[in-house]
């Protein structure tokens, strides 16, 4: 989601960058090549280390350094688009037939979208409470944390949180840096097994990448808890499930969470367009997390017969920076009727989509995800219309809780409290603190574990 603000250029120089002016060819289109075949997709996913791996790796290692503040204030010539920059999801009082036919399909879609958004618009959104009781934590254990890549600040922060909790519980920890490289992620799993770890927490790598390590851990009876990891049976139906446990959410497992989130992103687009939305949709094909989210958005938009995804722009992590900005500009030139841009994640917005919107004529708002600190200026300016609150460190606490229960011979609980909350100009933006969440989850967990 839970990302930093700094990006590095290919030559390693980092810093703030204003919107990049570039020529846009209308005849070229925004699409590019179609999605890779299934085999190609699986190969690409494996090369990136899976879900959170590729999603968060962009924070420090991709195409361009782009600060959100610079994006807000910079101005350049560029593409065209439509409507205003308002991020409001609320229908105007007294909406008339001139905008939405009373009782017609657009009005029905608008009403349904508003009803969906009402579920996550309150101060707590759909966040719940972590479990208030837990078995007495075992002491003297050694837990390995295999990180998909410690170069990403958001990931390193969660790993550090897990280390701190473990120390309080009387556990020793060993952190293995997967360095955003599949071979290193697998090596970390195998090293943990060789070292006879009591448990392994794997952060961000999907099962196929570390399958051999997971099999070895199972044979050694070492429990493995995943955070934002797709198990093998999810990636390939019929394959065995190899993680002992994967952190869950108020909405269910990772797939269910992303499907629900995609539905809410679509509801915001529908509500913003008053049931007649025209959306440019970005679909990253090399990150399973974001691909699942993007396809959920597409499916949810089908509920609005009077709405249209006017263009689906496919891209990969290699496009972040000027290429992604150009793709955005091209799409908005070709589709001046666009009233919102589905970006999937905040990192996609700060990675080029936001710059493309900024340089367009009408600046349709982008729809993001994590509500991290880097996009707060964009939300306030209207470049980003909405995000959906996510708390990464909460996942770390949930993973530790799962390990505690496994040590006690119990099945981990699906009650984590991790949910979704809408943040836009009219909901929860005032006083919002990125990464805090609406519930004091840390205090609840620590009390349940006897840490006070």
**Among the residues of 273-388, which ranges form H helices?**
288-301, 322-334, 346-348, 354-358, 376-381
CA distance 50 to 287: 6
pLDDT of residue 154: 83
C-beta atoms surrounding 91 within 10 Å: 18
- Looking at residue 73, its pLDDT comes to 41
**Is 26-89+102-123+255-389's fold the same as 142-251+392-415+440-448's?**
yes
Number of CB atoms found within 10 A of residue 11's CB: 5
Q: Tell me, what's the pLDDT at 422? A: 98
Q: What are the domain boundaries of the chain?
A: 26-89+102-123+255-389, 142-251+392-415+440-448
pLDDT tens for each residue of the chain, 452 residues long: 433 333 333 333 333 333 444 444 333 333 333 333 333 333 334 434 444 444 544 443 333 334 344 444 443 333 333 333 333 334 333 333 334 556 799 999 999 999 999 999 999 999 999 999 999 999 999 999 999 999 888 889 999 999 999 999 999 999 999 998 999 999 999 999 999 999 999 999 999 999 999 999 999 999 999 999 999 999 999 999 999 999 999 999 999 999 999 999 999 999 999 999 999 999 999 889 999 999 999 999 999 999 999 999 999 989 999 999 999 999 999 999 999 999 999 999 999 999 999 999 999 999 999 998 989 999 999 999 999 999 999 999 999 999 999 999 999 999 999 999 999 999 999 999 998 999 999 999 999 999 97
Distance of CA 245 to the CA centre of its chain: 20
Distances (CA, A) of 226 to 71, 395, 397, 445: 35, 10, 12, 18
Residues 6 or more apart whose Cβ sits within 8 Å of residue 286: 41, 44, 45, 48, 54, 316, 317
CATH architecture for segment(s) 26-89+102-123+255-389: 3-Layer(aba) Sandwich (3.40)
Under 8 Å between Cβ of 100 and 275 = yes
The pLDDT value given to residue 101? 58
Instruction: Please tell me the class of the 142-251+392-415+440-448 domain.
Output: alpha beta
Q: Is 404 exposed, middle or buried (0-12, 13-18, 19+ CB in 10 A)?
A: buried
Provide the 10 A C-beta neighbour count for residue 47. Answer: 14
Please state, as a whole number, how many other Cβ atoms lie within 10 Å of the Cβ of residue 310. 18
């Amino acid at each position: 989601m839970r990302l930093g603000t700094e990006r590095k250029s290919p030559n390693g120089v980092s810093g703030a960058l204003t919107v990049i002016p570039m020529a846009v060819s209308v005849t070229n289109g925004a699409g590019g090549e179609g999605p890779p075949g299934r085999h190609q997709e699986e190969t690409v996913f494996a090369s990136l280390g899976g879900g959170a791996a590729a999603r968060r790796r962009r924070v420090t290692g991709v195409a361009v350094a782009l600060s959100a503040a610079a994006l807000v204030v910079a101005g350049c010539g560029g593409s065209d688009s439509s409507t205003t920059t308002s991020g409001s999801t609320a229908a105007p009082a007294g909406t008339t037939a001139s905008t939405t036919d009373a009782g017609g399909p657009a009005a029905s879609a608008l009403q349904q979208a508003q009803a969906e958004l009402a579920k996550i618009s309150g101060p707590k959104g759909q966040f719940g409470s972590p479990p208030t009781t837990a078995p007495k934590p075992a002491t003297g254990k050694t837990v390995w944390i295999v990180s998909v890549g410690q170069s990403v600040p958001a990931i390193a922060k969660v790993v550090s949180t897990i280390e701190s909790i473990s120390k309080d519980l009387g556990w020793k920890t060993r952190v293995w840096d997967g360095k955003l490289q599949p071979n290193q992620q697998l090596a970390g799993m195998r090293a943990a097994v060789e070292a006879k770890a009591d448990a392994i927490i794997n952060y961000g790598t999907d099962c196929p990448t570390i399958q051999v390590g997971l099999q070895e851990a199972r044979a050694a009876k070492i429990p493995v808890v995943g955070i934002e990891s797709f198990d093998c049976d999810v990636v390939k139906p019929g394959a065995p499930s190899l993680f002992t446990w994967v952190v869950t959410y108020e909405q269910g497992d990772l797939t269910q969470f992303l499907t629900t989130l995609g539905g809410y992103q679509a509801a915001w687009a529908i509500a913003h367009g008053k049931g007649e939305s025209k959306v440019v949709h970005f679909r990253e094909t090399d990150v399973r997390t974001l691909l699942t989210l993007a396809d959920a958005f597409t499916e949810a938009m089908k509920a609005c017969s009077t709405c249209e995804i006017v263009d689906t722009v496919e891209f990969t992590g290699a496009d972040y920076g000027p290429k992604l900005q150009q793709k955005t500009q091209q799409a908005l030139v070709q589709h001046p009727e666009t009233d919102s841009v589905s970006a999937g994640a905040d990192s996609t917005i700060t990675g080029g989509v936001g710059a493309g919107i900024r340089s367009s004529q009408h600046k349709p708002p982008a729809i993001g995800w994590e509500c991290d600190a880097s996009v707060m200026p964009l939300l306030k300016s209207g470049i980003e219309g909405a995000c959906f609150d996510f708390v990464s460190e909460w996942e770390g606490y949930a993973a530790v809780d799962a390990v505690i229960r496994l040590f006690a011979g119990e099945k981990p609980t699906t009650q984590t409290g991790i949910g979704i909350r809408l943040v836009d100009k009219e909901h929860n933006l005032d006083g919002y603190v990125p990464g805090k969440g609406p519930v004091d989850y840390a205090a609840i967990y620590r009390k349940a574990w006897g840490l006070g």
